[in-house]
Amino acid sequence: MIKRLIKKEIIRQKKVINLIPSENYVSKNVLAALGSPLTNKYAEGRSHRRYYFGNEVVDRLEDEVKRLVYEVFKISPKKYGVNVQSYSGSIANLASYVGSVGIGGRILAMSLEHGGHLTHGHDVSMTGKLFKFKHYGVGRDGLIDYNEVARSACDFKPQLIVCGATAYPRKLDFKKFRKIANSVGALLMADISHIAGLVVVRVHPSPFSYADIITTTTQKTLRGPRGAIIISKLQVSGDRGQVINLTDQIDKTVFPGLQGGPQMHTIAAIGVCLEEALRPNFKKYAKQIVANAKELATELKRLGFKIITGGTDNHLMLMDVTPLGLTGKQAGERLERAGIIVNKNMIPYDTRKPWDPSGIRLGTPAVTTQCMKEKEMVKIARKIKKILLK
């Protein structure tokens, strides 16, 4: 039965136009690593310091994957530590908070309603319960108001500021975030889960000169397995001027704090996707993701749709569907029936609730993997018009 369902899912994935910005189609080699006998190995602990024996291969593997992280993101092992063991982005974020400010620490982050993420301290997430969060958002124009972020930071005095989003279509100004963090003596964390692939080839600015901690999932624009990477400064100064070994604290929080044995098959698959990200055609791919998103947003706008902020700088866009007399849920369902897959999404200042919000979120990483270009984006936009305006 399970085999049959897997086959059905393979067929579904081939049949649809997938515009979910956080999904992608991995290569055969990534799938092979995920399905490899590395899944059989227990390797609790850090590389070369494990609680099990028989690690000569997995130690080399984890070391190589970490080396690839330095190479792909162009960072130095003298400055940054890398952890590739987190099972997911949620764990990576939680471990980063615990490892940097400790439970109960004060964190300023973007609200989910304005484009942040559940694990950026939403009430229903454990992160919202374990730490004292305050949230910033976007202005009525849909753009981050850095002056407002600075004011919130000044009032709240966070120990950590988180930047990064899941539904923000514009470039993040890491330099401004750093300046704000410095003004209140806070650490800066950039969650680049959505834009990691774009950062690798610099079609989005890199946070590395600015952030103390960088987290990312690996399944989105990076086109790898469902996993995560945490990159953190080896040493930062604490609020009393003391030296904190950030990487060590985060490593300890991942294991044994939150997890048991790392998923070595996933770590291998992360390595494969990083090897792929070093190839010249990945640069072309990432550039095309953005070119496609821009074209899709432009055409949708030309066709009369309301695109939040009027367009996009990255791989995604948000569309307000209420002017069509639809809710996000209705629009998403209608599109799904016609073979276009999106997700419903809150828009800034939404008066509706997350289960049936006012918007949908669309993105181009998956269709770009399928070699679609601007021409296809125009066709998709017109198809969306036909489906939503009938």
Which residues are part of the catalytic machinery?
42, 44, 191, 217, 220, 226
User: Nearer to ligand DSN by C-beta: 84 or 195?
Assistant: 195
Strand ranges in 218-298 using DSSP code E only, listed in sequence order: 228-233, 236-237, 243-244
User: Nearer to ligand DSN by C-beta: 98 or 112?
Assistant: 112
Residue 221 found at the interface with ligand DSN (CB under 6 A)? no
User: Nearer to ligand DSN by C-beta: 166 or 247?
Assistant: 166
Amino acid at 335: L
Residue 125 found at the interface with ligand DSN (CB under 6 A)? no
Query: What b/e sequence results for 252-270 when a residue is b if at least 16 CB atoms lie within 10 Å of its CB, and e otherwise?
Result: bbbbeebbeebbbbbbbbb
State how far Cα 155 lies from the chain centre. Answer: 28
Element (H, E) at 377: helix 374-388
Q: Cis ω on the peptide bond leading into residue 256 (within 30° of 0)?
A: yes
8 Å CB contact between 159 and 239: yes
Query: Smallest Cα–Cα separation from 209: which of 190, 228, 230, 229?
Result: 190
Beta-bridged to residue 243, according to DSSP, are: 237
User: Nearer to ligand DSN by C-beta: 81 or 365?
Assistant: 365
Residues 176-215 that bind ligand DSN (CB under 6 A): 193
What is the smallest separation between the CB atom of 259 and ligand DSN, expressed in angstroms? Answer: 18
8 Å CB contact between 271 and 252: no
8 Å CB contact between 43 and 57: no
The whole-angstrom separation of Cα 281 and Cα 159 is 40
What is the smallest separation between the CB atom of 1 and ligand DSN, expressed in angstroms? Answer: 28
The whole-angstrom separation of Cα 388 and Cα 215 is 36
What is the smallest separation between the CB atom of 313 and ligand DSN, expressed in angstroms? Answer: 17
Per-residue binding letters, 156-175, with ligand DSN (x by CB under 6 A): ----------x---------
Q: Residue 198: what are its φ and ψ, rounded to 5°?
A: -75, -35
Encoding tokens for residue 157? Answer: 């005095």
User: Nearer to ligand DSN by C-beta: 180 or 214?
Assistant: 214
What is the smallest separation between the CB atom of 67 and ligand DSN, expressed in angstroms? Answer: 27
Q: If you search the block for the tokens 């985060």, which residue do you land on? A: 250
What is the smallest separation between the CB atom of 52 and ligand DSN, expressed in angstroms? Answer: 32
How many residues lie near ligand DSN (CB under 6 A)?
Answer: 3
Residue 218 found at the interface with ligand DSN (CB under 6 A)? no
**Closest residue to ligand DSN, based on beta-carbon distance:** 22
Residue 22 found at the interface with ligand DSN (CB under 6 A)? yes
Half-sphere exposure of 355 (CA within 13 A, CB side): 0
What is the smallest separation between the CB atom of 193 and ligand DSN, expressed in angstroms? Answer: 6
Residue 298 found at the interface with ligand DSN (CB under 6 A)? no
State how far Cα 11 lies from the chain centre. Answer: 26
User: Nearer to ligand DSN by C-beta: 22 or 232?
Assistant: 22
Per-residue binding letters, 310-339, with ligand DSN (x by CB under 6 A): ------------------------------
Residue 18 found at the interface with ligand DSN (CB under 6 A)? no
User: Nearer to ligand DSN by C-beta: 66 or 117?
Assistant: 117
- Backbone CA torsion sign across 140, 146, 147, 151: positive
What is the smallest separation between the CB atom of 196 and ligand DSN, expressed in angstroms? Answer: 12
Residues near ligand DSN (CB under 6 A): 22, 166, 193
